[in-house]
Amino acid sequence: MREAIEFIHPSFEIIETRGDLVKQISLALADNAQQRSVIVGAPVRCTSGIALDEVEARVRINGREVASGFGSAVLGNPLNSVAWLAGKLGQYGKALRGGDIVTTGSFVRQFPLSPGDIAVADFSGIGRVEVARSKS
């Protein structure tokens, strides 16, 4: 699997909750109701020297650390998430293509951002990504 992945990126998934998740959680999950977009940082070549399960993400909001977690939180290794997706797509005659961006799953829980907040995530050995919520 690793040889099929050219680059990895530090990233933030931007969520947007639609509807009442408490009352309709199954529908929300099927609709992918929280996914809005993804912010990616600079690419890093995916080499055998990067143990993705051992990569630590440290998240700060407005300079205060709010969470940390490891790649092992994603099905034991983020590559397992990509392998699962490739297999599931194959069941439907589909495939990942070169250049596709795949989000593997989160190393830490989600955090709401208020207007003016700045969130930064540092991924050990990979890099950093930053996002700011506009004040309006």
Q: Tell me: the pLDDT tens digits for 76-114?
A: 999 999 999 999 999 999 999 988 989 888 899 888 888
Of all residues in the chain, what percent are helix, strand and coil, respectively (each to 5)? 20, 30, 50
Q: Which helix (H) or strand (E) holds 123?
A: strand 118-123
Contact 14, 39 (CB under 8 A): yes
Q: Which domain holds residue 92?
A: 2-132
Task: Name the token pair of 68.
Answer: 């940390």
Q: Report the candidate in 81, 76, 82, 84 with the shortest Cα–Cα distance to residue 54.
A: 76
Overall pTM surpassing 0.85 (yes/no):
no
Q: Tell me: the pLDDT tens digits for 9-45?
A: 999 888 766 666 566 666 555 555 556 678 999 999 9
CATH number for the domain harbouring residue 68 = 3.90.850.10
For tokens 């680059």, name the residue.
7
Q: How far apart are CA 68 and CA 93, in angstroms?
A: 37
Q: How many domains does the chain have?
A: 1
Contact 131, 39 (CB under 8 A): yes
For tokens 């490891």, name the residue.
70
Q: Bin 4: left if φ > 0, else alpha if -120 < ψ < 50, else beta.
A: alpha
The burial class, CB within 10 Å (0-12 / 13-18 / 19+), for 86 is middle
